[in-house]
Structure 1
Amino acid sequence: MDWLERTAQLRQWTRSGVRAPHKPLLLLYALGRFQQDDDDELRYSAVEEDLKRLLAEYGPPHKTTPAYPFHHLVSDGVWEVRTAHGPGSPGSGVRELRAAEAAGRLAPELRRALRRQPSLLGRMARVLLDLHFPPSLHSELCEAVGLELELAETEPLPAGRQQRDRRMRELVLTAYEYQCAFCGYDGRIGAVPVGLEAAHVRWWAFGGPDDVDNGLCLCSLHHKLLDKGVLGVGDGHRVLVSQRFVGQSPAAREHVTALAGRPLIGPQAGVRPVAAAHRSWHTSQVFQGTPRPANAA
């Protein structure tokens, strides 16, 4: 059985690029727990709060419940659920799972495969990370689910999956003249830029192309905040700052809240700015809540 292909083909509700990372997050969490204790069973009532936090931090902006993937991941052949009455999930409702004392864990065949081939766990995790989350979040997401991986190694994507264009970084940094489009940071050591990255506005994992009009040159801080939904790009190519962001220090005000409403820095003349379709996707699928008014800074 090709567990990597099965991992890549988790059945999810998708429409027009809508994010639904519920199953990938649960499977990453289960892999992390298996790595710590390969006989561990995850009682729903005991892991519900962990899963809620993962969905709140790495899931879509709208509210969701961990009961949905706990029940539905069974259909993908990688997960099983048991209750006090025997095998099988009682349903996708929180009350049903709690009342039945439901517990889940990786499917028996998958557990055996992971014990025979320990490297499979890391390869499955990298497929999940690459297909559902931007690279800027991979390390912290592994830490959040308790996974210890060597993320420098990359797993070839399954057949038919488009590979990334490695030229994008240089094209985007050149387009924005090697300065952060949000704050203007342009640090170098000699001729080498330091702390500048090419960010996808529409994530590559959700059909975002490796094109300059889907990219921004950002410093490491603002790249992370873009991918976490704290920052965005609105109409008129002005910076959006989420009202959910809280920071009282002068540094937080200067580097985040003061950006609200500012025009982007760049790109240089003749280069296409971020396309409206990519800005719209990020605003609906990643940006958290409502933007601050420009004068809130």
Structure 2
Amino acid sequence: MDWLERAARLRQWSRGGTRAPHKPLLLLYALGRFRQDAGGELRYGAVEEDLKRLLAEYGPPHGTTPAYPFHHLVGDGVWEVRTDRGPGSPGSRVGELRASGAAGRLAPELRAALRREPSLLDRMARVLLDQHFPPSLHDELCEAVGLRAEADPASVTPLVAGRRQRDRRMRELVLTAYEYRCAFCGYDGRIGAVPVGLEAAHVRWWAFDGPDDVDNGLCLCSLHHKLFDRGVLGVGDGHRVLVSQRFVGHSDAARDQVTALAGRRLTGPQPGVRPVADDHRAWHAANVFHGTPRPAADTI
């Protein structure tokens, strides 16, 4: 049985490229807990708050519940659920899962495979990360679920046959298009001739069919890349910076580096280069950006 294929092909609700990472997040969490206690079960009532936090931090901006993947992941052959009455899930309602003492764990065949081949766990995690999240979030997500981050996915041989390959030229093309300056703050640091702290960010995530094209990219400093992928920052009409009202920061640094960006026009790209395409901006606004944008800083 090819467990990497199973991980890569989890069935998810999908409409127009909408993110629904509920099952991948639960499976990553279960892999992390298996590493800590290979024989343990995850009782829904005990892990519900952990799963809620993961969905709030790494899921889509609209509200969601961990009860849905806890029940439906069974159908993908990697997870099992039992209650106080015996095997089988009672359904996808929170009350049913709590009242029945529902507990889940990795499917028996998968647990056996992980014991035979311990490296399989990290390879499954890598597939889930690559398929559903941008690289800027991989390290912190691994830490959040109790896994160790592995090598940069761009340098890893594809683990599942037929998977789309990244275009390694994208970084240089995007940084050149934006003249090696952060599109949000203008940062342009170098050591000698080498730029430092500048990255090529996908607007529509590569994991969600975002192309490796300049009009789907932004040159961002490391800080603003992370905040962009976490939904704190976005790009609005007129290619102006959006800042979420959910972001809270009271220091001068938080004000200068984040809230003061609200309404600021992007720096770049240089003339003759296509700016971020409207459909990619719209995908990010619907699937990543959290909450309502703040008013432009100069109107407050």
Q: Same fold (TM over 0.5)?
A: yes
Matches of 2:69 and 2:196, distance apart in 1: 40
Partners of 1:149 and 1:257 in 2: CA distance: 31
TM-score, structure 2 length as denominator?
A: 0.97
SS in 1 for 2:166: coil
Cα displacement (A) at 1:160: 2.5
SS across alignment from 1:202: coil
CA-atom RMSD in angstroms: 0.9
Paired AA for residue 88 in structure 2: G
Matches within 5 A, 1:54-203: 54-152=54-152, 154=156, 156-203=158-205
Task: Name the residue aligned to 1:212.
Answer: 214
Amino acid at match of 1:36: Q
- Deviates further, 287-296 or 127-136: 287-296
Q: Which amino acid aligns with 1:216?
A: L
SS at match of 1:16: coil
Counterpart for residue 271 of structure 1? 273
Identity %: 82
- 8 Å Cα contact 2:32/2:147 also seen in 1: yes
Q: Tell whether the 8 Å contact from 1:139 to 1:151 is kept in structure 2 after alignment.
A: no
Going from structure 1 to structure 2, the CA distance change for 1:155 and 1:123 (only over 3 Å counts) comes to farther
Change (3 A) 1:157 1:274: farther
CA distance in 2, matches of 1:50, 1:220: 27
Please, which runs of 5 or more residues in structure 2 have no aligned partner? none
| Maintained 8 Å contact 2:4/2:159 | no
Counterpart CA distance in 2 for 1:62 and 1:89 is 26
Question: Deviations along 1:169-202, whole A, 9 cap, x unmatched?
Answer: 0000000000100000000000000000000000
| Residue 47 (structure 2) pairs with residue 40 (structure 1) | no
4+ residue stretches of structure 1 with deviation over 3 A?
none
* Structure 1: distance between partners of 2:207 and 2:174: 18
SS state at 2:220 partner: strand
Mapped to 2, the partners of 1:157 and 1:228 lie a distance apart of: 26
Q: Residue type matched to 2:82 in 1?
A: R
**For each residue in 1:36-86, what CA deviation from the matched residue of structure 2 results, as whole angstroms up to 9, or x when unmatched?**
110010000000000000000000000000000000000000000010010
Q: Tell me if the contact between 1:230 and 1:241 (Cα under 8 Å) persists in the aligned partners.
A: yes
CA distance in 2, matches of 1:180, 1:188: 12
C-alpha deviation, 1:158, in angstroms: 2.1
CA offsets, 1:69-125, max 9 Å, x none?
000000000000010010000000000000000000000000000000000000000
Shift of 1:155: 5.2
Letter paired with 1:87: P
For the structure 1 residues 155 and 66, does the alpha-carbon distance in structure 2 shift closer, same or farther, using more than 3 Å as the test?
farther
The aligned counterpart of 1:290 is 292
Quickly say closer, same or farther: Cα 1:126–1:155, change in 2 above 3 A. Answer: farther
Q: TM-score, normalised by structure 1?
A: 0.98
Indicate if the aligned counterparts of 2:134 and 2:205 stay in contact, CA closer than 8 A: yes
Letter in 1 for 2:87: P
Partners of 2:73 and 2:128 lie apart in 1 by 14
The answer as to 2:59 corresponding to 1:52 is no
1:243 and 1:257 mapped to 2: Cα distance? 9
SS in 2 for 1:253: helix
Amino acid in the other structure paired with 1:198: A
Which SS does the other structure have where 2:147 is aligned?
A: coil
CA distance in 2, matches of 1:57, 1:96: 25
Cα distance in 1, alignment partners of residues 97 and 22 from structure 2: 17
| Deviation for aligned residue 1:157 | 4.3
